[in-house]
Chain A
Amino acid sequence: MNQLPVLIIVLPLLIAPILLLVRDNRHVYNLSLGVSFLNILLILILFQDVYQNGNILYELGSWKAPIGIRLNADLLSCYFLLLINFMAFICLIAGNKTIKSQVEDDNIHLFYIAWLLCNVGFSGIVLTNDIFNLFVFLEISSLASYFLISQGNYKASSLAAIQYLFIGSIGAVFILFAIGILYVNTGTLNMTDLSNKIGSGSISLSMSLSIAMFLIGVGIKTALFPLHGWLIRTYSYAPSIIVSYFSGTSTKIGIYILLRVFLDIFNSINPLEYYNLAQLILFLSLIGVLLSTLYAIKQNEIKKMLAYSSVAQLSYIIIAIMLLTPDGLTASLIHVFNHSIIKTGLFLVVTILFINNKNVSIDDFSGLGEKYPLLMSAFVILLLGLIGLPLTSGFISKWYLISAILQSDYWYTSGVILITSFMTFFYAWLLIEKIYFSARLNHDASVATSYQLLCVYFLAALTIYLGVDTSLTFGISEQISNNFYSTINQ
């Protein structure tokens, strides 16, 4: 039997306690880097296998599902798995120096342990086929992330971590209740079994309660528009390398849960359509895009600006899902991948340039174009990707998003997308103007190591590559969404 799905979860889980025994900072770093590299190789093999031969099911301890716990690697899982572990690897390479200077010496090994555990949680969420296991992995990743956020060197870091803890726990409790209600109604926790037992037809009252609770819980995790407050605070006060990592992973995991629950488990009753939920969320997200883009323009602090822009981009993804068409799902999956790469790249630049600055304002970028011509051109490429100019991956995702919207019933909302894209251009231009056209100020941007620079260049190159060759993102996203919608229409 193919052991890959379990190894991807368990290898980092094994390395984490070993790191606690090792304790020496250098070895800890090398070990965690090694295991995340190994993980990427394993995921690539698994991806190849799944792409050619279809789903891989793995029964833990050979106990047959639905009684036993089963892992299910399908294309959607592999897509997210690759994204998450790739981001973790890039951020680990780039983060070494910043972690050394931002985190206390005694805590560095704990920091890497928490990072690995967080990644284990994310990988587990996307691989498991058992909904209670999904909750457990969600808690593993959340608990680890509370610790990671609290390690920022701001006074407000602990406060931000505590606030995230409360909000995250509330979200988790909603998800737990929803799972409990599902279990009472169907008597099973296995996702495949659940979706068979829920059946089609009318939705009972308790089932609709479960749906509502899932929606709120997942909404908190994805920073769905009115529930996005925690994201701004955590992104502003967490260690900057963790922000780079989370901007590409943590909210995307929420998107994964949303897709898994509403399009896979509930696919036979399709609750998003049944209650016009999709319409409600769509309009909330539209307001979210508009407001958060406006806020992003208003921010002077770059981390806050990028955080608000993250909320806006996440709203694009959610809008695309809520169109409830195969094209919409394809567009959202493409944007998940592209946005992660772009936003992680942008945050990485901020991370490696301003190790010692606590509040990085837009003015700090003035004149950097002269000082770091290559790094800044990579930064500008990433910014152009964020706006969605042609030849960048952002253009591809916006293109598919708008064409999906035009083909749906909500064609008039495409205006909002265009307006907000233009507004994105506005705040990106503020940065570009500072970088190239402003007199050089006295600033203390730190010198980046060559590894860190390589990571940024790589992400910028990837932004262009994915803007030209869309076989990875579009090809796979289209296949995933066709799989989903063919089962729904049956």
Chain B
Amino acid sequence: MRHHTIPRIVTKLLIPVILLFGLYVQFHGDFSAGGGFQAGVIFAAGFILYNIIFGLDIGKSILSVNTSKSLMALGVILYLMVGFLGILLGGNFLEYNYLSNTPINGQLLGIFLVELGVGLTVSNVMVLVFYSFNDISEEK
């Protein structure tokens, strides 16, 4: 894509906006439409676009397959840890009320952390799907 100036320039302009929008959807999921799933996909879309335009080598040097796999697992672990925290603090699994000084703050903190875990896992799954499709086409 080295000689395609327009896609390169447009991508450079778009990627920060896409990533920022991804973060917006992530952190405003509890007030408006959105949440971890949507944000994860948007965030991954930005990264995949970068890979398509600038090549996989640079992309993989930023986020290698192994790092991506670990982050994917960490997202799930974060989610479950928040759940276990509810049990440890005297409530049920995934009960956020006890996470902070008031139940409302607790709910806010809980949903924030849980959605962060979801976002982390979903975005890395999307990136890994992209990488593995690429591996298949390279094998041929």
Whether B77 lies near A14 (C-beta < 8 A) is yes
Which of A14, A17, A20, A58 lies in contact with B92, CB distance below 8 A?
A58
Given A3-B87, A61-B86, A17-B93 contact (CB < 8 Å): no
Shortest C-beta distance, A115 to chain B (Å), equals 16
Chain B residues near A61 (CB-CB < 8 A):
86, 91-96
Provide the bound-state CA to CA distance between A58 and B92, in Å. 8
CA–CA, A280 and B113, complex, Å: 52
The answer to whether A17 touches B74 (Cβ under 8 A) is: yes
Residue of B80, B86, B94, B95 near A14 (CB, 8 A) is B80
Q: How far is the CA of A16 from the CA of B84 in the complex (A)?
A: 15
Taking CB atoms and an 8 Å cut-off, the chain B residues in 82-140 that contact chain A are 83-84, 86-87, 91-97
Chain A residues, CB < 8 A from B97? 62
| Residue in A3, A18, A59 whose CB lies within 8 Å of B77 | A18
User: Which of A22-62 touch B at CB < 8 Å?
Assistant: 58-62
Assess whether A6 is interfacial by the CB under 8 Å rule.
yes
Q: Are A62 and B95 in contact (CB under 8 A)?
A: yes
Given known contacts A13-B80, A14-B77, A21 and B70 CB-to-CB distance under 8 angstroms: yes
A20 to chain B, nearest CB (A): 4
Which residues does chain B contribute within 8 Å of A16, judged by CB atoms? 76
Tell me which residues across on chain A come within 8 A of B92, comparing CB atoms.
1, 3, 6, 58-62
- Contact of A17 with B91 in the complex, beta carbons under 8 Å: no
Determine the residue in chain A with the shortest Cβ distance to B94.
Answer: A61
With both beta carbons as reference points, the residue of chain A lying nearest to B69 in the complex is identified as: A20
- Taking a contact as CB atoms under 8 Å apart, the answer to whether B93 and A60 are in contact is yes
The reply to whether A20 and B80 form a contact with Cβ atoms under 8 Å apart is no
Q: How far is the CA of A62 from the CA of B87 in the complex (A)?
A: 11
Given contacts A10-B80, A14-B80, contact A3 B73 (CB under 8 A): no
Number of A residues contacting the other chain (C-beta, 8 Å)?
A: 16
B83: chain A residues within 8 A (beta carbon): 10
A-B pairs under 8 A by CB, number: 48
Chain A CB within 8 A of B72 CB? yes
Once the chains are docked, how many angstroms separate the CA of A59 from the CA of B93? 8
Task: Determine whether the beta carbon of B73 is less than 8 Å from that of A20.
Answer: yes
> Is A18's CB under 8 angstroms from B73's CB?
yes
Given contacts A3-B87, A10-B83, A61-B86, is CB(A17)–CB(B77) below 8 Å?
Answer: yes
Question: Bound complex: CA of A38 vs CA of B72, how far in Å?
Answer: 26
A81 to B91, CA, bound (A): 25
User: Are the C-beta atoms of A62 and B91 separated by less than 8 Å?
Assistant: yes
Q: Which residues of B contact A18 (CB under 8 A)?
A: 73, 77
A3 CA to B93 CA, complexed, in Å: 8
**What residues of A have a CB within 8 angstroms of the CB of B95 in the complex?**
61-62
| Interface hits, A78-123 → B, CB 8 Å | none
Inter-chain contact A20/B70, CB cutoff 8 Å: yes
Q: In the complex, what residues of B have CB within 8 A of residue A20's CB?
A: 69-70, 72-73
How distant is the Cα of A61 from the Cα of B93 in the complex, in angstroms? 5
With both chains docked as a complex, state the minimum distance between the C-beta of B71 and any C-beta of chain A, in angstroms. 10
A 1-15 contacts with B by CB, 8 A? 1, 3, 6, 10, 13-14
Chain A, Cβ-Cβ closest to B121: A17
Q: Complex formed: what's the CA distance from A152 to B86 in Å? A: 41
How far is the CB of B91 from the nearest CB of chain A, in Å?
6
A21 CA / B94 CA spacing, docked (Å): 23
Nearest A-chain residue to B93, judged by Cβ: A6
Q: Please, how many angstroms separate the alpha-carbon atoms of A21 and B92 in the complex?
A: 27
Q: A271-290 interface mask toward B, CB cutoff 8 Å, 1 = contact, 0 = none?
A: 00000000000000000000
How far is A18 from B73 in the complex, measured between Cα atoms in Å?
7
CA A62 to CA B74, docked complex, whole Å: 25
The chain B residue sitting closest to A14, CB to CB, is B80
- Residues from chain B with a CB closer than 8 A to the CB of A60 are 92-94
Please tell me if the beta carbons of A21 and B93 are within 8 angstroms of each other in the complex: no
Q: In the complex, what distance in Å separates the CA atom of A17 from the CA atom of B95? A: 22
B80: A residues at CB distance < 8 A: 10, 13-14
Q: List the A residue with the shortest CB-CB distance to B90.
A: A1
CA distance A58 to B93 in the complex (A): 9
- Chain B residues proximal to chain A, CB less than 8 Å: 69-70, 72-74, 76-77, 80, 83-84, 86-87, 91-97
Besides the contacts A6-B92, A18-B73, what 19 more A-B pairs have beta carbons closer than 8 Å? A3-B87, A3-B92, A6-B87, A10-B80, A10-B83, A10-B93, A13-B76, A13-B80, A14-B84, A16-B76, A17-B74, A17-B76, A21-B70, A21-B73, A58-B92, A59-B92, A60-B93, A61-B91, A62-B97
Binding site for B on A (CB under 8 A): 1, 3, 6, 10, 13-14, 16-18, 20-21, 58-62
Q: What are 23 A-B interface contacts by the 8 Å CB criterion?
A: A3-B87, A6-B87, A6-B93, A10-B80, A10-B83, A10-B84, A10-B93, A13-B76, A14-B77, A14-B84, A17-B72, A20-B70, A21-B70, A21-B73, A21-B74, A58-B93, A60-B92, A61-B86, A61-B93, A61-B95, A61-B96, A62-B92, A62-B95
